[in-house]
Structure 1
Amino acid sequence: MSTTVSLGVVGLGFMGRTHADNAVEFGHDVIAGADVVAETREAFAGDYGAATYESFEEMYDSEELDAVAVSTPNAFHEPAVVAALERGYDVLCEKPLADDLAGAERIAAAAADSEGFCMVNFHNRLSTAAEVFTEYQAEGRFGEITHVDADYVRRRGIPGVGSWFTEKELSGGGAVVDIGVHAIDFALYLMEYPEVEEVFAVTRTEFGHREDYVDPGDWYDETDDAVFDVEDSATAMIRCGDDRTISLEVTWAANQPDSTEFLARGTEAGATLELGGEELTIHEAGRQGTDHLVDATVSEGSIDHAGWAGSDRLFLEGVAAGEAPEMNTVEQGLSVQRVIDAIYRSAESGTCVAVGDERRDDAA
């Protein structure tokens, strides 16, 4: 890559530092950062030699940037992303696009009018198993994928109560917004992003308020003024065009084993793979010699720059080339946000709801 990208980071916590580290690793310049916490700004400035600002507006007005990575709590994605796009910057936005559908729609509209592009950090697509799957899919090995079982289950994994993750005003939701967004995106990705038509869902809060909550991994860390007003699990059935379906199970806490397994069922073959994993098992049937079943496991391979590093590299290469990446587009991020919105509307109403901007009011 011959062009060095000048990157600004909005939100200087763990993910902001991850984006900064990857940018430096790939030979780019982290020249500025913005965060409301003074101590966080000071540490970032010291570690990266970057100018820091309390507000993203001040950073945008003061610095000559090529691109921005936005990694704030969900409620603050929209103003930071829209303002960057209005200035023509390319933007990497953490998932989900926003804390609600209206905010995501405004981001998508700003991206459509901008000289820059917006990419969503759906990093689980950048994995060995996913790349092998999509190559075989392009060759027609699976036929048409008609159903996906999508699991993102933590047996015990509620993020720290008192953090923004468990406060709806800052996050927009609980397990569905935090980890369900990855499962929804990945399932749609395996199906080549069909139009989603209807959703039936149930959300539950079964563990977040319990005083006897068992937390072997020390995720929880409740404080006296902790807020927990979101769901900790959800079950959904998602119907796409041509009656293709997704069965979704998402939990921060449940009395069942951890799972990030996805099972894609095709008309010619199926596949099992882990979210962000390396191993892929293909399920087929044959008549050679005699009728038989075949389970073929693809292993012993790995792609370069998987996960967060792969996503950052894809974004920065797009910025340097002046071309929006074809993966992880803002339109796909908006599609995922519409499904999240439908999950919550269905859970509230107790009925199946239509998905899509133009049908939202009629379905509510």
Structure 2
Amino acid sequence: MTGEYADVRTGIVGLGNIGHHHADRLVELGVPLVGGMDIAPDARSRFADRYDVPVYDDCHDLYDEVDAVVITTPNKYHEEYTVAALERGCHVLLEKPLANTLESAERIADAAATAEGTVKIGFNNRFLNAVQLVRNRIDRGKFGEVTHVEANYVRRRGIPGRGSWFTRREISGGGALIDLGVHAIDLSMYLLGYPAVEEVSGVTRSEFGDRDDYAYLEMWGDDSGPEAFDVDDSASAFVRCAGNRTVSLEVAWATNRPATHEFVVRGTEAAARFDLLEGDLTIHSASADGPDHLLDTTVETSENDTHADEQRAFFDAVTTSRDIGGDIEDALTVQRIIDGIYRSSEGGHTVDPADAEP
């Protein structure tokens, strides 16, 4: 195999749907896919048949053969496989979130701090062309001071299959908040410049997933019924950061309202509104140049594969040691915000994410 990444032998840990999704893009990118690992025999068999590579039931056997790994396991197992990879000197691209609990996320961060390998977290939505256009305008001062982000990631009916690991708190760490909210929180903080977080207030709800009469329209996997659901299916939250910068958050797997994936980024000179899934982007501003008037500019963006662009950036970092962002520090901040929202909801009051008990 030839190409700029041909020397980075890469494996995948976790051979489910997202593992195949990453594997397809590795092949397209010209990265040598040399193996996969999963504890499930059926998953190993499907992966071996599709990609014609060795598969293993022990991560250490895979790590003997690779320079880098993409880890796509359920959240509970992120720590186990990531720390083991770092101890072997592997580069790691870890799917979001950092972990299923704050304590586990902090242990991963501690391991990464002394590791030789590059570690990046799978915040692929940062690579959406609309997001990159907004970030570019922010960096050039076109928005003035960016002060607030309205973040929406709301499905009308879209709970993952009840009984899958997504709906089991012990494995996932939570529901819609830790699944969809992690993307919305990272994007918001990314566009604000990741200011220090001062306080978090939020409410998480379980209003649909535990119902016998849930309208099964969109799910990933079979439905095992309400007894197999013990996580949140929506969350509303507010994050206050240094300099009076703020984030308002709405995320849901299921609600009685139209779906929305709209983000609004407000600045003192202009604002942006974009759709996270469609990529539609509009810039809003006002002018007193001539008669006072408002300006709404539609920006035509090109569609891009965010996971492919994320992988390309990761392997650029591996081969050139160039910082691409998406670091452990950002992911740990997101994890602290998520933990803070859950604690705020449980306690019924605003919390400081830094006050979490070890």
**TM value normalised by structure 2:** 0.95
Change beyond 3 A, Cα 1:294–1:66 = same
The aligned counterpart of 1:360 is: 356
**TM-superposed deviation, 1:279:** 2.4
The aligned counterpart of 1:76 is: 77
Are the aligned partners of 2:210 and 2:227 in contact in 1 as well (CA < 8 Å)?
A: no
**TM-superposed deviation, 1:326:** 2.1
Are the aligned partners of 2:162 and 2:225 in contact in 1 as well (CA < 8 Å)?
A: no
1:151-202 CA distance string (max 9 Å, x none): 0000001000010000001100000011111110111111111111110011
Separation in 1, partners of 2:121, 2:340: 20
Consecutive unaligned residues of structure 2, counting only runs of 5 or more, are none
The aligned counterpart of 1:52 is: 55
Q: Which residues of 2 match residues 165-180 of structure 1 at below 5 A? A: 165-180=166-181
Are the aligned partners of 1:127 and 1:278 in contact in 2 as well (CA < 8 Å)?
A: yes
The aligned counterpart of 1:336 is: 334
The aligned counterpart of 1:182 is: 183
Residues 1:351 and 2:349 aligned together: yes
**TM-superposed deviation, 1:254:** 0.4
Separation in 1, partners of 2:171, 2:219: 22
Q: Which residues of 2 match residues 260-299 of structure 1 at below 5 A? A: 260-299=261-300
Change beyond 3 A, Cα 1:218–1:167 = closer
**SS at 1:17 equivalent:** helix
The one-letter amino acid of 2:337's match is V
Separation in 1, partners of 2:188, 2:225: 38
Consecutive unaligned residues of structure 1, counting only runs of 5 or more, are none
**TM-superposed deviation, 1:59:** 2.1
Are the aligned partners of 1:31 and 1:49 in contact in 2 as well (CA < 8 Å)?
A: no
The one-letter amino acid of 2:312's match is R
Separation in 2, partners of 1:218, 1:175: 13
Identity across matched positions, percent: 48
1:274-330 CA distance string (max 9 Å, x none): 12543221110101111111111111x326x53111111211222233x15422111
The aligned counterpart of 1:302 is: 302
**TM-superposed deviation, 1:28:** 1.3
Separation in 2, partners of 1:2, 1:210: 52
Separation in 2, partners of 1:122, 1:352: 27
Are the aligned partners of 1:91 and 1:117 in contact in 2 as well (CA < 8 Å)?
A: yes
Are the aligned partners of 1:315 and 1:325 in contact in 2 as well (CA < 8 Å)?
A: no
1:42-79 CA distance string (max 9 Å, x none): 1211221211111212322xx33110100000000001
1:125-145 CA distance string (max 9 Å, x none): 111111111111111010111
The aligned counterpart of 1:32 is: 35
The aligned counterpart of 1:11 is: 14
Separation in 1, partners of 2:299, 2:172: 38
The one-letter amino acid of 2:11's match is G
Are the aligned partners of 1:73 and 1:171 in contact in 2 as well (CA < 8 Å)?
A: yes
The aligned counterpart of 2:126 is: 125
The one-letter amino acid of 1:25's match is E
The aligned counterpart of 1:213 is: 214
**SS at 1:353 equivalent:** coil
Separation in 2, partners of 1:297, 1:223: 44
Are the aligned partners of 2:148 and 2:265 in contact in 1 as well (CA < 8 Å)?
A: yes
Change beyond 3 A, Cα 1:267–1:179 = same
Separation in 2, partners of 1:90, 1:129: 28
The one-letter amino acid of 1:115's match is E
**TM value normalised by structure 1:** 0.94
The one-letter amino acid of 2:356's match is R
Separation in 2, partners of 1:330, 1:3: 23
Separation in 2, partners of 1:277, 1:146: 24
Change beyond 3 A, Cα 1:12–1:247 = same
Residues 1:148 and 2:144 aligned together: no
The one-letter amino acid of 1:360's match is A
The one-letter amino acid of 2:302's match is S
Change beyond 3 A, Cα 1:313–1:226 = farther
The aligned counterpart of 1:244 is: 245
Separation in 2, partners of 1:327, 1:3: 19
Separation in 1, partners of 2:279, 2:223: 35
Are the aligned partners of 2:159 and 2:218 in contact in 1 as well (CA < 8 Å)?
A: no
Moved more, 267-276 or 75-84: 267-276
Separation in 2, partners of 1:89, 1:156: 39
1:62-120 CA distance string (max 9 Å, x none): x3311010000000000100110111111000100100111111111111100002101
**SS at 2:69 equivalent:** strand
Moved more, 206-215 or 153-162: 206-215
The one-letter amino acid of 1:52's match is V
Are the aligned partners of 1:157 and 1:220 in contact in 2 as well (CA < 8 Å)?
A: no
Separation in 2, partners of 1:225, 1:282: 43
Are the aligned partners of 1:35 and 1:41 in contact in 2 as well (CA < 8 Å)?
A: yes
